[in-house]
Chain A
Amino acid sequence: MSWIDTPIIEKLGEYLDLAAFRQTLIASNLANVDTPGYRTRDINFEDEMQRAEGRASSDAAPPRAFEVAGLMERPDGNNVSLDRESMLLARTQLQFRLGVELLRQEFQSLSTAIKEGS
């Protein structure tokens, strides 16, 4: 960790990575809405965030995706729920935006410190 990487910046980086990863899964689920036998996959955002906190930043183990249980299955074995995925899509977008805004604030205050508050 160099002097410019504050703990908050590192954490926000993890947060944005996780949001981007979830976006990958949502896009996969939506792309396979008509694929017979496809199962919805997701991550547990809170668990992954806690897992990221406990490890060194160099150890980049990918988040664990699992098949979501308890969704209604269609006769062709596909269990993608449009409502669930659309809701998550909106939510992940907002989470990402929040992360970006906070990161921007953090960099701005660093920049203010560099310019001696002027």
Chain B
Amino acid sequence: MNLLGVLEISGSALTAERQRAEVLASNLANAQTTQTAKGGPYQRQLVIFGTRKADSSTFASAFAGFSDRYAQGVEVKRVLPDPTPPVQRFEPAHPDADSQGYVAYPAVNPIEEMVNLMGAARSYELNVAAVQATKNMISQSFQILS
């Protein structure tokens, strides 16, 4: 029940949304990648979010005794490869073409990735607004003393 811990919650969301944006950017960047270290085309990655209990090891939460069971941050639980099979395109001249002349391209839809990227950016903004609000409340509480 304290404001320093609230910053922790919003901070966890900033980290998670940034990681999501990174993975989405990587999907976009590799939309045409046909060669990877594992072999075969790039596989689209999916980010799975989950709730996270407030971390009691950080300074702010330990300092303030933050053990509130209602405080739930967010974190990236897993990054999974999308099981959708690659898109086959007929390009016989391509060096990665198979015996029938088809090249396997990643199943990445740039429009879908862009929409998700916008969602991540908006959620990031939203949590920045929450951080600002909490910061204002903390600095106002200092005025009780003055």
Using a CB–CB distance below 8 Å, which chain A residues touch chain B?
A: 16-17, 19-21, 23-28, 30-36, 38, 41, 62, 65, 82, 86, 89-90, 92-93, 96-97, 100, 103-104, 107
The interface residues of chain A lying within 8 Å CB-to-CB of B20 are 34
A31/B144 contact (C-beta < 8 A), A24-B1, A93-B137 known: no
A32 to B129, CA, bound (A): 14
B residues apposed to A, CB below 8 Å: 1-3, 5-6, 9-10, 12-13, 16-17, 20, 48-51, 68, 70-74, 119-120, 123, 126-127, 129-130, 133-134, 136-137, 140-141, 143-144, 146
Once bound together, how far apart are the Cα atoms of A34 and B50, in whole Å?
9
Min CB distance, A49 to chain B, in Å?
14
Q: A24-B6, A38-B51 are in contact. Are A96 and B137 (CB under 8 A)?
A: yes
The one of B16, B129, B141 that contacts A100, using a Cβ cutoff of 8 Å: B141
Chain B residues lying within 8 Å of A90, measured Cβ to Cβ, are 133
9 shortest A-B CB distances, which residue pairs? A31-B13, A27-B9, A35-B49, A28-B72, A27-B6, A31-B74, A21-B1, A96-B137, A65-B70
